[in-house]
Structure 1
Amino acid sequence: MTMSAYGVVLESGAVRFERLLPGPIERVWAHVTEGDKRSKWFCGGEVEPRVGGSVALFFKHSQITDEPPPESAREMNDRGKLMAGTVTAWEPPHRFAFNWIGMGEPDSDVEFVLSQVGDKVRLVLTHRRLATRSRMALVSSGWHLHLGLLEDLLAGAPPRGFWSVHQRLEAEYAERLKDAPV
């Protein structure tokens, strides 16, 4: 079975992504949960490693790409933006989930599940409680891009484009999700 880079709708307001990444599982876990490693592909910020612990998500896209951002993303790209969450699952090195506060109303839920598959690691990311199709398209295009950067980082490959493909991907997801349940 071929794994698609595109996220799929699971249910109303929920998308899921799967990636097969270079292992071992402890390495991928570290890149998902440790702020200094996560900042190279997604966002920085510390995670308090326990259920009920705090999650700090510091987005500064200029740390992950040197491509110029669209004007609408310039402040987050250049100055950064802090968002927060609460750990809802902590099962190293297999499952990390959190409630994401401040990404939009209502809050949403993110879950990473990792499993060893030979010398690879299957990462399944599920993002739930996305209230509108436009929010689902924005979040889906973002995860698509960020997970691509994680894949490149773990493979030792040059990072793929980010802002240069962002608008195209967001439009593709808007089209893909136009009939999705919300």
Structure 2
Amino acid sequence: MNSRAQTREPQPDGSIVSVDAAHDAVVFYRHLSHPVAQVWPYLSRPALLRRWLAAADRLDPAEGGGVVLRWLNTDTEGRTVIATGTVTAYDPPTLLQLDLEPHGRVRFELADEGGGATLAFSAALPAPIERPALLLAGWHLHLDYLAQALDGGAVDWPGWDPARDWQPLHDAYVARGL
């Protein structure tokens, strides 16, 4: 499956918010057309995480558990990103929070809403966030991939092309002044 429709203009919906004096966060709110019970496994099961985010080489499903995520696409410089850390909040089926190096405190919160679910996503990092458009575009794309995975798709990681898949989103966030 191609990761993005080629005829659509990117619609940047992420923002940067201040968390406290020392941290800012990349924030997204998405409506998903699937109920929480269907979305939760895509956040917490390694085989399903792989379809939209990364290979979960380790994901201990409990607070205090270890996490090792290996991105299956490369960063903008062609490197494989490996994030390691700890599960810092785990309340199935509505809350998963991971403290990850280098991605910061990554939080997924789900709530049932009108036949589907709302997802509140944030990734908090030391302020000010360097290269916010880069982070916004990356998380935006992965959340798009989550919606595709919920509909039965999976990202073609070997065919992933940053110029096609990531760059248009990055450019849209830059155009917003981020």
The TM-score with structure 2 as length reference comes to: 0.77
What 5-or-longer segments of structure 1 have no aligned partner?
A: 62-68
Q: How does 1:159-174 map to 2 (within 5 A)?
A: 163=162, 164-174=164-174
Do structure 1's residue 17 and structure 2's residue 28 form an aligned pair? yes
Distance (whole Å) between structure 2 residues aligned to residue 34 and residue 176 of structure 1 = 35
Does structure 2 retain, via aligned residues, the 8 Å contact 1:5–1:19?
Answer: no
Q: Give 2:89's aligned amino acid.
A: A
Q: Which secondary structure state, in structure 1, belongs to the residue aligned with residue 112 of structure 2?
A: strand
What residue number does 2:40 align with?
A: 29
Q: Which one has a larger percent strand, Structure 1 or Structure 2?
A: 2
CA shift for structure 1 position 23? 2.0
Distance (whole Å) between structure 2 residues aligned to residue 89 and residue 36 of structure 1 = 21
Distance (whole Å) between structure 2 residues aligned to residue 96 and residue 70 of structure 1 = 24
What residue number does 2:88 align with?
A: 88
Distance (whole Å) between structure 1 residues aligned to residue 161 and residue 116 of structure 2 = 24
Aligned-CA RMSD value? 2.6
What 5-or-longer segments of structure 2 have no aligned partner?
A: 1-10
Does structure 1 retain, via aligned residues, the 8 Å contact 2:89–2:96?
Answer: yes
CA shift for structure 1 position 175? 4.0
CA shift for structure 1 position 157? 5.9
Q: 1:95 to 1:71 in 2, by over 3 A?
A: closer
Do structure 1's residue 155 and structure 2's residue 155 form an aligned pair? no
Alignment partner of 1:116 out of 112, 115, 130: 112
Q: Which one has a larger percent helix, Structure 1 or Structure 2?
A: 1
Equivalenced residues, count = 159
Distance (whole Å) between structure 2 residues aligned to residue 86 and residue 70 of structure 1 = 22
Q: What is the percent sequence identity of the aligned residues? A: 28
The TM-score with structure 1 as length reference comes to: 0.75
